[in-house]
Amino acid sequence: MEYTIIRVYRVVAGSQAEATDRLMEAFENGVQRDYLAADIVKPHDEPKVSAIHRPVSWWALARRQLLGR
């Protein structure tokens, strides 16, 4: 059986670039466990989340109600 493993790191920083630099520095120094927040393990055959659909506009809803389609 196959599993998907996701590692979540939490880094305090002023910007995304600074957070990335800090985490890469932690990996280079071998102290990435200091930033590790969670490990998520789930079966690979788990069903994927369905695509997100755009919300219907108010005009389309009104037309659907008036015309009965």
Per-residue b/e over 20-47, b at no fewer than 16 CB within 10 Å? eeebeebeeeeeeeebeeeeeeeeeeee
Is 0.75 surpassed by the pTM of this model? no
More confident of the two residues 68 and 66: 66
pLDDT digits (tens, 9 = 90+) for 19-66: 999 999 999 999 999 999 999 998 887 667 777 888 889 998 898 899
